[in-house]
Amino acid sequence: MAVSARKRLNNDKYNAKCTQINLKPLTPEANAIKAAAKASGQSIQGYILQAVRERMAKEGQPLTLDDLPGADSAGGDSVKP
C-alpha cells in the first residue's frame, strides 16, 4: 500500500528528530527481551527505553523532557514526564 505524501512528510519530520542506536544481543538474550516486552504489552523499543530510563533515574541521571530537543512534540516511545 502506498503512503500518502502527507504521511511521508510527517514520518520524515519525526525521523529527523530520532537517532538510531543498534543493539546486537546474543540470540537467547534477544529472545528473552522480546518475550518480556510481549508479556508486558510493550513494543521492544518501548520496553528497552523504559528499562534504560529507570536505570538512569536509579543512578541519579534521570532523563527529563528538558533534555530532549523538540520535546514539545513527543510521540511514539517518547519520554514520559
* Cβ count near 9 (within 10 Å): 11
**Rounded Cα distance, 73 and 63, in Å:** 16
Per-residue pLDDT tens over the stretch 7-51 = 999 999 999 999 999 999 999 999 999 999 999 999 999 999 999
Confidence band (pLDDT; 50, 70, 90) for 73? Answer: very low
| Residue ranges covered by each domain of the chain | 29-62
Q: Is the pLDDT of residue 70 over 60?
A: no
Residues 6+ apart with CB under 8 A from 62: 53, 56
* Cβ count near 74 (within 10 Å): 14
